[in-house]
Chains A and B, each alone.
Chain A
Amino acid sequence: MQVIVDTNSSMPLFAQLVEQIKQAVQAELVAPGDALPSIRQLATDLRMNSKTVAKAYSLLERDSVIQTKGYRGTFIHPDAKANSNVDLSSWVRAQLKQTIQTLKAANVTDSEIRIAFVEIMHNRPNSGD
């Protein structure tokens, strides 16, 4: 099973990797328990920064699509197929959309929403305090 990344694509490289590994799991091109290449090997083969591959692996691990077993390496998670269906970024969008709709219904302006969002994201104290 091969992964192909396009450095000209508008999609970030780590996202291309995450998507393709999830697609490989869905298409059963990789099975639970299968070993994956090390971060260094994949980064070298794709001629990209190892931090990019590490980011893709950490997102896949968070979604329980892969699991790291210490020095033994990285493997496909036993529940990878079910877990690779979960699209957290779509869920985040849906949640945000619902929240923004509620706020707008309460006549909160766009800039108030934006400022509050940035403050919460960066753990800053409330500007109204």
Chain B
Amino acid sequence: MLVQAIFYTVFVAQLLLVSYYYPRKFTARISYLLANYPPEQYPKLYPKPYDYHAENGAKKSLRAYRFVNGLILVAGFGILTAMLASGYTPRLLGGDEVFVLLFGAVQTVPHMITEIGTAKYFKRMKEVDISTTKKADLRPRRLFDFISPAYIGLAVILYIGWLVFFLGNSEFDAGLTTPAYVTVIGTATMHLLITGVIMMNIRGLKVDPHQAYRDQLKQIETTIRICVFVIILMNSFLILMDASDRYAWEVFDPVFTSLYLQLIIIFSLGLRFRKSRVEEVDFSVYKEDVWLV
């Protein structure tokens, strides 16, 4: 009964957090932007073809975004009601976390689509940027300017910790195709990709060609923090899942998975909203030829 109560509570929290709370924050942010920074005054914020009927287009996209999230929310509560009606309880031997993970993946689809849309928007912004003046700050950017070494250390320790814990509990005799090898290689690849994202942010081209340097630094800091927190959470989750197998806590696997998903969202989307508040962004750079002023 307790397991059932915990599971339902955590799943409701997942539904509300991913498909209601953060979508609401996102739409509020875009609405604020449209209301306060119109195309007439901030033309660089609306590169073609976004400049045509920018407001109507954005409002239409926002409506679609709200609708899809609402649909997922209703579907989630529908599934939850059906589970309650059938008296569902997580299986003692685990395995139900797959459904939590799948539903979580569906919940993140609208967020992924907005990420892809944002990337396309910035690409377009770069394409239409005809400015002949380029600015750069005369200060070096280094990893530890953006994040405390303690967090990096914790991420490394947790990864090594998981590796030791996992390898001590796995079979490697059956060749390279065994799940153990796939897990180790997959996890290493994931860590390398995240490290690549961190390096790209420090050394690579800035995403928004007009962005003020202060905002760029803030964005780099937020992205690096998100990446490191994701590594910390991922390794903690992997250790927890291995411990769950070892100490027969599998009945809590769906709860652990849901909590993991929620923490990932809190430390990615949530951190982004907290750190880069739209009210604090320097929008003067998006005015016409601001560099001449």
Which residues on A are within 8 Å of B, measured CB to CB?
Answer: 1-8, 21, 24, 29-30, 35-38, 40-42, 44-48, 73
Contact with A along B92-132 (1 / 0, CB 8 A): 00000000000000000000000000000000000000001
Contacting pair A42 B139 (CB below 8 A)? no
9 contacts between A and B (CB under 8 A): A1-B138, A3-B135, A6-B132, A7-B134, A24-B138, A37-B138, A37-B141, A42-B136, A44-B203
Instruction: Compute how far the CA of A109 lies from the CA of B213 in the bound complex, rounded to whole angstroms.
Output: 55
Cα distance, A46 to B213, chains bound together (Å): 12
What is the CA–CA distance of A84 and B291 in the complex, to the nearest angstrom?
Answer: 27
> Of the candidates B136, B138, B203, which one forms a contact with A30 in the assembled complex, judged by CB atoms under 8 Å apart?
B138
Other contacts beyond A1-B137, A41-B203: 10, CB < 8 A: A1-B138, A2-B136, A2-B137, A4-B291, A24-B138, A37-B136, A37-B137, A41-B141, A48-B134, A73-B140
Residue numbers of B with Cβ under 8 A of A are 132-141, 203-206, 213, 291
* Chain B residues closer than 8 Å to A6, beta-carbon distance: 132-133
Q: Are A21 and B138 in contact (CB-based, < 8 A)?
A: yes
Q: Are B132 and A45 in contact (CB under 8 A)?
A: no
With beta carbons under 8 angstroms apart, the residue of A4, A21, A29, A40 that contacts B134 is A4
Asked whether A46 lies within 8 Å of B140 as measured between CB atoms, the reply is no
Chain B residues with CB below 8 A from A5, complex form: 133-134
Contacts of A46 in B (CB 8 A): 134-136
What is the minimal beta-carbon distance from A99 to any residue of chain B, in angstroms?
37
- Out of A2, A40, A48, name the residue touching B213 (CB < 8 Å): A2
Residues of A within 8 Å of B205, CB to CB, are 44, 47
Interfacial chain B residues near A8, Cβ < 8 Å: 132
* A8 to B131 CA separation, bound complex (whole angstroms): 10
Q: How far apart are the CA atoms of A43 and B202 in the complex, in Å?
A: 13
> Closest Cβ of chain A: how far from B254's Cβ, in Å?
45
CB distance from B201 to the nearest CB of A (A): 12
Query: Are A3's CB and B132's CB within 8 A?
Result: no
Q: How far is the CB of A29 from chain B (nearest CB, A)?
A: 8
Q: Which 3 A-B pairs have the closest CB atoms?
A: A45-B136, A8-B132, A46-B134
Q: Give bound CA distance, A46 to B137, whole Å.
A: 9
In the complex, what's the smallest C-beta–C-beta distance from B285 to chain A, in angstroms? 12
Q: Which of A4, A30, A41, A44 contacts B140 (CB 8 A)?
A: A41
Contacts of A35 in B (CB 8 A): 139-140
Bound-complex Cα distance A114 to B213 (A): 48
How far apart are B267's CB and chain A's nearest CB, in angstroms?
A: 27
Separation in Å of the A34 CB from the closest CB of chain B?
Answer: 8
Complex Cα distance, B80 from A45, in Å, reads 50
Say whether B140 contacts A3, CB under 8 Å: no
* A24 CB → nearest B CB, Å: 6
Smallest CB gap from A48: residue in B: B134
Which residue from chain B places its CB closest to the CB of A6 in the assembled complex?
Answer: B133
